[in-house]
Chain A
Amino acid sequence: MDVVLWGVLPYLVVVTFVGGLIWRYRYDQFGWTTRSSQLYESRLLRIGSPLFHFGLLFVIIGHVVGLLIPESWTDAIGVTEDMYHAGALGIGTLAGIGTLVGIVILIVRRRRTGPVFMATTRNDKLMYAVLTTAIVTGLVVTTIAFTAGHDAHNYRESVSPWFRSLFTLRPDVDAMASAPLQFHLHVLLGLGLIALFPFSRLVHAFTAPMHYLFRPYIVYRSRDRRPTPGASAPRRGWDPVGTRDRDR
């Protein structure tokens, strides 16, 4: 069982994730959008959305640092386990709570605002469920570590080595299996989220427009060149209107 969960599943998830992203990028440029609902409601969004997104950015940075940087490296520069622990817990809790509050505001807004709820697909609901439980279990992990204090499980001796070993294609299943239940849950939900990524609205994160900082303000573009006569690559975006359009 451990081998399936910590040795096979991660690779399946990676294949789904990478393959899904490539497929969606090639197949569904038109559906690749934030699907913003600010047009319907913006008072709550203006609080919830930045809180959630910025919180999440810090959470992601924390995960990268915690998982990728080996304990021996931080030891080498003189960061003791206690210092590291305090720092990670402090920042992690802050960012995690910010993210959680943000997403709670967003979910409440989504449920309570009629038009926003109408625009919520089943795909969105699944994504919200996985995302929220992932955040909650993450916070549970942190809280347990907080209350345990010195006796807390050091994930940098179990989860992190396992995570890094995934890249060398020799997954350290035993290390991960030795971690407590709350870590198992959190990692599984995280894997679920990653698998879901290409197929939900989360994809918009992958086109975060950083090149905006560098491109010229005015964009000139020539009419697209088409390879074959007659076979003009059709443009999408002009879906017809119908009286029952809301039901579709």
Chain B
Amino acid sequence: MRVMAQVAMVMNLDKCIGCHTCSVTCKQAWTNRAGVEYVWFNNVETRPGQGYPRRYEDQEQWHGGWTLNRRGRLTLRTGGRAKRLLSIFASPVQPELNDYYEPWTYDYERLVEAPLGDDFPVARPKSLITGEDTKVTWSANWDDNLGGTSELGHLDPVVEKVRRESEDKIRFELEKTFMFYLPRICEHCLNPSCMASCPSGAIYKRAEDGIVLVDQDRCRGWRQCITGCPYKKVYFNHKTGKAEKCTFCYPRLEVGLPTVCAETCVGRLRYIGVFLYDADRVTEAASVPDEKDLYEAQLDLMLDPQDPAVVAAAREQGIPADWVDAARRSPVYALAKTYRVALPLHPEYRTMPMVWYVPPLSPVVDLLREQGHDAEDHGNLFGAIDALRIPVEYLAELFSAGDTEVVTGVLKRLAAMRTYLRGITMGTGADESVARSVGMTGQAMYAMYRLLAIAKYDERYVIPKAHEERGHELEELGCSLDYDEGPGMYESAAFGEASGRPVPVAVETFHALRQRQTSEDIAPPDEMRGRVNLLNWDGVGTPPGLFPHKDVAHPDGAPARAEHGRDDEGVVR
């Protein structure tokens, strides 16, 4: 047993109102740059719908994820290593920009600079790719709220599959429509196929927290990961020629803060916590022959943090005590394993995804209410769950490789929770039999209700910090002054903007500052001495010390600083 820690997320889909706040804040934080205009580390899809990029779930077309070969061994769906290398010169199945959308902006300048005339000036859409006028025909959420579903609904790969397998058709007429939102980020899989398809070995899983990252220095732009990821959550930065993906906001996580998407989630539907899992058994679990067993196999990987043997093994592997403690209080472990209400997205891709979803009960509840039934009564709800094949089958295709029993079980537990809590709030008393009917105790049911419905901040997010003694190893956030032509921005290097030495991220880092403040020396041999803190600079003129001095070595080797570069008029030449 090799215990490793994995930071994971659970999303409670019943609470998602599809406001896209997560997408927008994520975009502002991470992909507000040239080359990644079309990139959404976080996006919210309306289901049924095509998703982003369009029809990404159709692996017949995109060849993402893993499959079992004839000998029952796990292989990439795109083929083995030799085949990958031979097709490296032109990736056979890579999504093009058309499968995402052509990013655009508007010619706002025209609004203010147009000459006075009889007509109002118009801000035309301009392509961010070609710079030419463009026609906006698609975007990251073009089919939001079932927009255009009557025309395009059949293009949803899940709808296609459910239709193929069931005789009755899913109808998209408004009165029969069901709908829910599916926010998606990178799954930070235990068995990531993007990593396995990366020829350079640039994609790695952090040993400490399981976050999957792309090493920007080692990525060579072979773009195999984009094909490899079945969720299409690795993107190609077309300016730098490197792959980029969701980072699980690791700089925030390292200091104990939730990700930006979770922090800003209006519905408070995201949970972040730690799993302890057995890394040695991941491949075995991902190789179970029957796709429908994958969910159980994945659950089995998650180790019980209360088990003393697990704790001992974790300590032996060097997992810090507070991480083990966080694993004990982990909301994601509770929802996924204790209550068994959180399911992985598309386990049939065999990547062991680590973003889990509590499937929505609301399509069922809404339907019952519209038909005039008591939508809170567990009897009615149970009956409806059994009777409503379409939503259940659809959810099963998403969350349990088509196994409707798993989804039904989860929905029944959620339904029982409603009834049980109604008993309490209405004063008719807690009905233990309701809890028992889904194999739970009343106490567990109440705890689950607290976690799902009340969802206090410190119960939703149990994030152990990276360790203080390792603090200096933390990778930092970018500098806010590094915007275009900003003071932190350096000139492009020889091969265009994507080349050359990295821009220093921190102008003055916390540690450098502290070092200086606590130093014994009055004038420590410190590079930063006499330098302007750009955070306090008002942007007017060039005060002395704005630019680094050109060091002229003294005979004794010490850099001559006081003598030049800084004169009394405060002018630097």
Task: Let me know if B484 and A245 touch, CB within 8 A.
Answer: yes
Point out which of B32, B216, B493 has the most chain A C-beta atoms below 10 A from its C-beta.
Answer: B216
Task: Let me know if A33 and B221 touch, CB within 8 A.
Answer: yes
For B37, list chain A residues within 8 Å (CB): 241
**C-alpha gap A220/B198 in the complex (Å):** 13
For A242, list chain B residues within 8 Å (CB): 34, 483-485
Task: Let me know if B196 and A223 touch, CB within 8 A.
Answer: no
CB contact under 8 A between A204 and B220, given known A40-B97, A121-B496, A199-B495: yes
Q: B residues 88-102 with Cβ under 8 Å of A?
A: 88-92, 94, 96-97
The distance from the CB of B227 to the nearest CB of chain A, in whole angstroms, is 10
Question: B interface, by DSSP: helix, strand, loop or mixed?
Answer: loop
Task: Let me know if B90 and A50 touch, CB within 8 A.
Answer: yes
CB contact under 8 A between A28 and B91, given known A217-B196, A241-B32: no
For A115, list chain B residues within 8 Å (CB): 97, 129-130
**C-alpha gap A199/B500 in the complex (Å):** 12
User: What mask results when residues 193 to 226 of chain A are scored 1 for a CB within 8 Å of chain B, else 0?
Assistant: 0000001000010010111110101111111111
For A147, list chain B residues within 8 Å (CB): none
B223 within 8 A of A: yes
**C-alpha gap A28/B494 in the complex (Å):** 10
For B512, list chain A residues within 8 Å (CB): 229-231
B195 within 8 A of A: yes
Q: Which of A41-49, A74-82, A132-140, A163-171 contacts B (4 or more CB under 8 A)?
A: A41-49
**C-alpha gap A50/B86 in the complex (Å):** 9
Nearest A residue to B478 by beta-carbon distance? A238
Q: Which of B200-208, B401-409, B448-456 contacts A (4 or more CB under 8 A)?
A: B200-208
User: What mask results when residues 470 to 512 of chain B are scored 1 for a CB within 8 Å of chain A, else 0?
Assistant: 1011111010001111100100111111111111111001111
**C-alpha gap A49/B88 in the complex (Å):** 10
Q: A residues 79-109 with Cβ under 8 Å of B?
A: none
For A38, list chain B residues within 8 Å (CB): 90-91, 94, 96, 223, 236
For B497, list chain A residues within 8 Å (CB): 239, 248
Contact of A31 among B82, B203, B495 (CB under 8 A): B495
The distance from the CB of B405 to the nearest CB of chain A, in whole angstroms, is 31
For B244, list chain A residues within 8 Å (CB): 237
B191 within 8 A of A: yes
B150 within 8 A of A: no
A32 within 8 A of B: yes
**C-alpha gap A71/B472 in the complex (Å):** 61
Task: Let me know if B240 and A33 touch, CB within 8 A.
Answer: yes
A69 within 8 A of B: no
**C-alpha gap A211/B105 in the complex (Å):** 42
Contact of A219 among B33, B191, B195, B208 (CB under 8 A): B195
Question: A interface, by DSSP: helix, strand, loop or mixed?
Answer: loop
Count residues of chain B with CB under 8 A from any CB of chain A: 90
**C-alpha gap A234/B501 in the complex (Å):** 9
**C-alpha gap A24/B335 in the complex (Å):** 50
Nearest A residue to B237 by beta-carbon distance? A237
The distance from the CB of A218 to the nearest CB of chain B, in whole angstroms, is 6
Task: Let me know if A236 and B216 touch, CB within 8 A.
Answer: yes
Contact of A226 among B219, B472, B504 (CB under 8 A): B472
For B34, list chain A residues within 8 Å (CB): 239-242, 245-246, 248
A112 within 8 A of B: no
The distance from the CB of B469 to the nearest CB of chain A, in whole angstroms, is 12
Task: Let me know if A232 and B208 touch, CB within 8 A.
Answer: no
For B476, list chain A residues within 8 Å (CB): 232, 234
A70 within 8 A of B: no
Task: Let me know if B240 and A239 touch, CB within 8 A.
Answer: yes
For B482, list chain A residues within 8 Å (CB): 238, 240
**C-alpha gap A239/B479 in the complex (Å):** 11
Nearest B residue to A42 by beta-carbon distance? B96
Contact of B502 among A53, A211, A236 (CB under 8 A): A236
A125 within 8 A of B: no
User: What mask results when residues 82 to 125 of chain B are scored 1 for a CB within 8 Å of chain A, else 0?
Assistant: 10110111111010110000000100000000000000000000
A181 within 8 A of B: no
21 contacts between A and B (CB under 8 A): A28-B494, A30-B499, A34-B220, A36-B241, A38-B236, A39-B236, A42-B91, A45-B90, A49-B90, A114-B130, A212-B199, A218-B191, A218-B282, A222-B208, A226-B473, A232-B506, A237-B216, A238-B482, A240-B32, A242-B484, A245-B34
Beyond contacts A50-B89, A123-B495: 18 other A-B pairs, Cβ-Cβ < 8 A, are A30-B499, A34-B222, A40-B97, A41-B96, A123-B496, A204-B220, A207-B200, A212-B84, A217-B195, A218-B196, A223-B474, A229-B515, A232-B509, A234-B502, A234-B506, A236-B503, A238-B478, A239-B35
